[in-house]
Amino acid sequence: MEEFDMKIWNYHIPIPDEIAFQMMDGNHRRVLVWIQGEGPFHMALMKVKSYWYLILNHELKKKLNLETGKQIEIKIERDFSEFGHEVPEEFQVLLDQDEEGNEYFRALTMGKQRSLIYLVTKVKNPDSRMKKSLAIIHHLKKSQGKLDFKQLNEWIKYYNNL
C-alpha cells in the first residue's frame, strides 16, 4: 500500500499494467478485490499518467490494519455485476416494483447509480435500508431524475422519521 500526497484520496494499491489490462475492456474498469483474505470489495481501476492503482479509503485501511509502505496480499477479479456494486435487496425490490423510479434511476450515469446504491449498502439495518431506498426513489420521481444530494438528504431525513 502506498500514499498519494492528496487531501481527498491518500491510500492506494499500485497495480501493474499487465494485470490492469487483463481486468479491462473498453471503459470497463470495475473489479472485485480481496485484501488480506477479506472481501470482496467493489473497486475501480484508476490511472494517473501511466500508473494504475486502486483507491483505499481510510475506513478500509483501518479495518484491515494496513500500513503505508507494507506489502499486502490482494486477489483481483473482473466485476461483471450490472452496477459495479451489489444491489441491496430492499433497493432492488423497489426498482422491480416502481417502473417510473426504475426508469429515472437507469437514466442516471453509472457513477451516480453506484453512489445511490452505496448509500443504501452502507446501512446495516434492513428497515433503515428500506427507508433510504424509498427516499431515493421518491426523490428521483419528484425531481424527474435530476439528482440533487442536498434535496435527497432532506427526503432521507423525512423517511427516517416515519
6 and 58 within one domain: yes
Instruction: Write the burial class of residue 50 (CB in 10 Å: 0-12 exposed, 13-18 middle, 19+ buried).
Output: exposed
Domain range for 34 is 2-78
Q: In this structure, what C-alpha cell is assigned to residue 13?
A: 494499491
> In the chain, which residue ranges form alpha helices assigned H by DSSP?
17-23, 58-63, 89-97, 99-107, 110-121, 126-142, 149-160
pTM: 0.70
Q: In this structure, what C-alpha cell is assigned to residue 49?
A: 499518467
Compute the distance between CA of residue 97 and CA of residue 90 in angstroms, rounded to an integer.
11
How much of the chain, in percent, has pLDDT values that exceed 90? 56
Report the number of distinct structural domains present in the chain: 2
102 and 74 within one domain: no
Please say which residue of 78, 110, 138 terminates a domain: 78
Task: Give the torsion sign (CA, 65, 66, 70, 73).
Answer: positive
The Cα-based distances of 153 to 11, 33, 145 in angstroms read: 28, 30, 15
Per-residue pLDDT, 127: 93
Given a cut of 90, whether residue 85 has pLDDT beyond it is no
Compute the distance between CA of residue 100 and CA of residue 6 in angstroms, rounded to an integer.
40
Given a cut of 80, whether residue 56 has pLDDT beyond it is yes
Per-residue pLDDT, 93: 94
Given a cut of 70, whether residue 51 has pLDDT beyond it is yes
Please say which residue of 45, 78, 111 terminates a domain: 78
48 and 116 within one domain: no
74 and 94 within one domain: no
153 and 97 within one domain: yes
Q: What is the pLDDT of residues 4-27, one digit of tens each?
A: 766 556 788 889 999 998 888 777
115 and 61 within one domain: no
61 and 29 within one domain: yes
Q: Return the minimum-mean-pLDDT range out of 28-32, 64-68, 83-87, 156-160.
A: 83-87
